[in-house]
C-alpha cells in the first residue's frame, strides 16, 4: 500500500472517530434549541421542570467532559453516501476501527451481545454490527450520517398495520386520518419509558423492514425543517401540538413537554399491506453527519450547525415545590423508613448501591446473590466504565435504564433478598407495585439520559461481581453521595406512572374524531 493511501485511510479513520465521539458527547444545535423551548414552557417548580434542569446540566457536563450524554450509546447506525468508484470496503473497515477505538476510550459503551449466548464482544463489533448502509450518489464527496439510538427509546418503536383498533382512539383506517391516530397512539404508548420528551420519525408505507428504515431516516432531518409535502407538514405540526396536551411530560412525570419533534416520510406500498412505522427517540437525540474529502479523508463539513447554539450554562434553575419532602437515605434501609415515603417525595441516597440489569435479574431468580442485599438499593443501570492509570475502575456515564424490562423478576427478587429500593426510569407494572406494598419497598425514578449528572454522584467503585455478563450487565458496587431520585411508586399501592397513563389515555381519547 502506498504512503498516500495509508495517509488517506488514517485520516479517514480519525474523521470517523471524531464523528462517533461528537455524536455521543455533544448534542446538535437544533436539538438543544428544542430542549430550551420545552424548558422555557414548563411550569416552574414542578418535577418536570426540575427534570429539565437536570437534563440541561447533563448536556453541559457531557460536553465539558467529552463523555457520553447517556450511558446507553445504543447500536451505532451509519448511513454512507459515496461517489461512484469509491472503495466502500475501506470505509467499512475504517468505521469498524473507529468504533473499536471509541469503545476503548469510553465514548461508546460495549453494547454488542451475541443473541444466542449472551456474550458481550467488548468492542461493539459482532455479526451485523455496527450497522453500515451504503448508497452511491453523483456528488464528489463522501457523506456519513450516524445515529446512536439507545435501547430505552428503541424499545418504544412501534409498527401499525392498517386498518386496526387503537386503545382510546377506536378504528384507524387506511387513510391520512388513520395515520394520524396511529402516530398519536405511538406517542401515548411510550409514556416516560423512552425518556420523554422525545422525537419521532414516521414511515408510511413500504413493507415491515423498509417502513422502519424510512422512519429512522426521518430522524436525520433537522428539527425545524418543513416537510415539502403540504399534507405531511400539517400533520407533523398537528402531532406535536396535540401530543403536548397529553400531560405525560418529561420522564412521564406529567407536564407540558411530551414531544419535541415529529418528522414523517412516505413511500409506496403493495395493495395488501399498509404499515405505519414509528421510530421513537429520547431527548438525548444523538445524531450527526459529516462530509469527507474523497481524496484526503478529512472532514470538510459538519451538519446541523445552523442557527444558535444553546449552551445551558447560565440557565435559571427551577425550585422544588414546598410540598415535596426531601428524604436522605443510607443503606441498609429499614422497612419503617420505606413505609414513610409517599409518591412525590424526593430521595437523596448516600453510601452503597448496586447496579443490576437484565442479566443480573435473570441470574438472581435461580441463584444466590454475590453480596448481602438485605435493606439495599438496586440501580437499573449499565454504566460506561474505564480504568484509570492505577488500574482502578472509574464511572464515565451512569444514567438509569428502562425498568419495565425487569417487571417479570423485580417483585420476586425484592422479597427473596430483602431489597428495599429500586432505582430506574419509566416506572414498573402491577406485579412490582403489589410486591412493594406487600414487602415494604419503593421505586425511585431517576432522570433518564442524565448519565453525566449521576456519574458525578458516584464517588468510588468499591467492587464488581458477575463481570462475565459484560460491563453493562455486571453488578457494580457504587459509593454515592447525594444521588437524587423521585418516589413514583410507594409501599402504599400508589403509582404516578399508572396515574399518568390513565389520565393521558383520557386526553388521547379526545382526538378520536376524524380530523384529516
CA distance 455 to 71: 10
Q: What is the pLDDT of residue 201?
A: 98
Cβ 186 vs Cβ 167: under 8 Å: no
| Helix, strand or coil, per DSSP, at residue 201 | strand
pLDDT number for residue 316: 76
Mean pLDDT, all residues of the chain = 96
Q: Return d(Cα 455, Cα 396) in angstroms, integer.
A: 6
CA dihedral 251, 254, 256, 258 (to 10 degrees): 40
Residue 6 has pLDDT above 90, yes or no: no
Confidence (pLDDT) at 315: 78
Residues 24-49 pLDDT 10s: 999 999 999 999 999 999 999 899 99
Task: Indicate whether 318 pLDDT > 70.
Answer: no
Express each pLDDT in 53-68 by its tens digit.
Answer: 999 999 999 999 999 9
- The reported pLDDT for the residue numbered 322 is 46
Q: How confident is the model at residue 319 (pLDDT cuts 50, 70, 90)?
A: low
Q: Predicted confidence band at 317 (pLDDT cuts at 50, 70, 90)?
A: confident
Give the Cα separation of 447 and 425 in Å (integer).
Answer: 7
pLDDT single digits (tens) 85-137: 999 999 999 999 999 999 999 999 999 999 999 999 999 999 999 999 999 99
pLDDT tens readout for residues 454-497: 999 999 999 999 999 999 999 999 999 999 999 999 999 999 99
What are the tens digits of pLDDT across the range 386-415? 999 899 999 999 999 999 999 999 999 999
Amino acid at each position: 500500500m502506498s504512503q498516500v493511501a495509508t495517509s488517506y485511510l488514517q485520516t479517514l479513520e480519525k474523521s470517523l472517530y471524531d464523528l462517533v465521539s461528537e455524536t455521543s458527547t455533544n448534542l446538535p444545535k437544533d436539538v438543544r434549541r428544542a430542549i430550551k423551548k420545552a424548558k422555557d414552557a414548563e411550569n416552574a417548580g414542578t418535577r418536570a421542570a426540575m427534570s429539565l434542569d437536570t437534563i440541561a446540566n447533563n448536556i453541559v457536563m457531557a460536553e465539558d467532559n467529552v463523555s457520553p450524554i447517556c450511558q446507553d450509546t445504543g447500536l451505532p447506525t451509519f448511513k454512507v453516501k459515496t461517489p461512484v468508484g469509491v472503495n466502500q470496503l475501506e470505509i467499512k473497515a475504517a468505521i469498524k476501527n473507529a468504533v473499536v477505538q471509541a469503545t476503548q476510550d469510553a465514548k461508546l459503551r460495549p453494547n454488542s451481545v451475541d443473541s444466542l449466548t449472551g456474550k458481550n464482544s467488548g468492542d461493539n463489533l459482532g455479526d451485523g454490527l455496527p450497522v453500515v448502509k451504503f448508497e452511491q450518489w453523483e456528488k464528489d464527496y463522501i457523506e456519513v450520517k450516524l445515529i446512536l439510538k439507545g435501547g430505552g427509546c428503541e424499545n418504544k418503536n412501534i409498527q401499525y398495520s392498517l386498518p386496526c383498533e387503537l386503545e382510546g382512539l377506536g378504528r384507524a383506517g387506511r387513510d391520512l386520518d388513520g395515520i394520524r391516530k396511529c402516530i398519536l397512539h405511538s406517542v401515548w404508548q411510550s409514556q416516560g419509558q423512552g425518556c420523554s420528551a422525545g422525537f419521532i420519525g414516521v414511515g408510511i408505507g413500504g413493507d415491515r423492514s423498509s417502513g422502519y428504515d424510512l422512519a429512522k431516516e426521518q430522524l436525520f432531518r433537522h428539527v425545524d425543517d418543513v416537510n415539502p409535502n403540504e399534507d405531511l407538514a400539517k400533520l407533523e405540526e398537528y402531532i406535536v401540538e396535540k401530543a403536548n396536551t397529553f400531560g405525560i411530560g418529561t420522564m412521564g412525570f406529567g407536564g407540558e413537554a411530551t414531544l419535541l419533534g415529529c418528522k414523517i416520510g412516505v413511500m409506496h406500498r403493495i395493495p395488501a399491506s399498509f404499515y405505519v412505522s414509528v421510530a421513537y427517540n429520547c431527548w438525548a437525540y444523538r445524531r450527526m453527519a459529516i462530509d469527507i474529502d474523497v481524496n484526503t479523508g478529512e472532514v470538510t463539513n459538519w451538519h446541523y450547525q445552523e442557527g444558535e447554539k444553546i449552551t445551558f450554562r447560565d440557565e435559571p434553575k427551577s425550585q422544588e415545590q414546598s410540598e415535596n419532602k426531601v428524604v436522605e437515605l443510607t443503606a441498609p434501609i429499614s422497612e419503617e423508613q420505606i413505609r414513610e415515603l409517599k409518591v412525590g417525595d424526593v430521595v437523596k441516597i448516600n453510601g452503597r448501591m448496586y447496579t443490576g440489569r437484565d442479566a443480573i435479574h435473570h441470574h438472581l431468580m435461580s441463584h444466590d446473590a454475590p453480596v448481602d442485599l438485605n435493606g439495599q438499593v438496586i440501580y437499573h443501570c449499565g454504566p460506561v466504565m474505564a480504568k484509570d492509570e492505577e488500574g482502578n475502575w472509574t464511572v464515565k456515564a451512569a444514567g438509569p435504564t428502562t425498568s419495565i424490562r425487569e417487571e417479570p423478576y423485580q417483585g420476586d427478587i425484592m422479597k427473596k433478598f430483602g431489597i428495599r429500593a429500586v432505582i430506574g426510569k419509566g416506572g414498573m407494572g402491577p406485579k412490582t407495585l403489589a410486591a412493594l406494598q406487600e414487602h415494604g419497598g419503593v421505586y425511585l425514578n431517576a432522570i433518564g439520559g442524565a448519565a453525566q449528572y449521576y456519574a458525578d454522584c458516584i464517588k468510588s467503585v468499591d467492587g464488581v461481581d458477575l463481570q462475565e455478563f459484560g460491563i453493562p450487565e455486571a453488578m457494580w458496587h457504587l459509593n454515592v453521595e447525594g444521588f437524587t431520585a423521585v418516589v413514583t411508586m410507594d409501599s402504599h399501592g400508589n403509582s404516578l406512572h399508572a396515574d399518568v397513563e390513565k389520565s393521558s389515555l383520557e386526553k388521547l381519547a379526545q382526538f378520536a374524531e376524524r380530523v384529516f
